[in-house]
């Protein structure tokens, strides 16, 4: 069965010449100058392609970096703003103390106003206020 398959295998109809003539050799022979020109053109093309590919990679990596840096900056900015607002609300006494760290300054300010400012206002005679 395998012998039949191998013997009946379709082959190409193109004739194959096995002889190499001097005319064929001259047809594919290049001078040193022609080879140098071909090499320099190939190198120039390869360098151009490499530079273009490097620019493309650079642009893509910079776009990714900018996108990642923007997202990171947004996260850091939002966190800093949230912590600032939390601290402000704790100082103003709107949010209760955390872990018994009381930073409320409104009570201290109101106590100072009651003691110092009201005492000074009481010291001023009422006649002076109305005679001005």
- What domain count does the chain have? 1
Dihedral over Cα of 14, 18, 20, 25: its sign: positive
Tell me which of 127 and 104 has the higher pLDDT.
Answer: 104
pLDDT for 18-34, tens place per residue?
Answer: 666 666 666 667 788 88
Domain assignment present for residue 47? The answer is yes
Domain assignment present for residue 45? The answer is yes
CA distance 22 to 19: 10
Domain assignment present for residue 26? The answer is yes
Determine phi and psi for 31, rounding to 5 degrees. Answer: -85, 170
**pLDDT cut 90: percent of the chain above it:** 24
Domain assignment present for residue 13? The answer is no
Q: CB–CB of 106/92 below 8 Å?
A: yes
Domain assignment present for residue 12? The answer is no
Residue 38: give the domain boundaries.
Answer: 18-131
Domain assignment present for residue 70? The answer is yes
- Report pLDDT for 118: 75
Domain assignment present for residue 116? The answer is yes
pTM: 0.47
Question: Given the structure tokens 């594919």, which residue do they identify?
Answer: 28
Q: Which two structure tokens, joined as six digits, stand for 17?
A: 């010449």
Compute the C-alpha angle 37/43/49, nearest 5°: 135
Residue 25 host element (H or E): helix 22-27
Domain assignment present for residue 62? The answer is yes
pLDDT for 82-98, tens place per residue?
Answer: 999 998 888 887 888 77
Q: List, as one string, the DSSP characters of 28-50.
A: T---HHHHHHHHHHHHHHHHHHH
């Amino acid at each position: 069965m395998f012998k039949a398959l191998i013997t009946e295998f379709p082959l190409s109809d193109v004739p194959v010449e096995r002889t190499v003539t001097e005319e064929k050799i001259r047809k594919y022979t290049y001078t040193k100058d022609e080879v140098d020109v071909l090499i320099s053109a190939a190198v120039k093309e390869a360098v151009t392609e490499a530079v273009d590919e490097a620019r493309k990679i650079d642009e893509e990596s910079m776009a990714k970096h900018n996108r990642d840096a923007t997202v990171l900056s947004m996260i850091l900015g939002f966190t800093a703003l949230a912590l600032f607002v939390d601290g402000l609300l704790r100082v103003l006494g709107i949010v209760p103390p955390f872990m018994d760290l009381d930073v409320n300054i409104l009570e201290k300010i109101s106590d100072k106003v009651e003691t110092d400012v009201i005492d000074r206002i009481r010291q001023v005679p009422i006649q002076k206020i109305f005679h001005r």
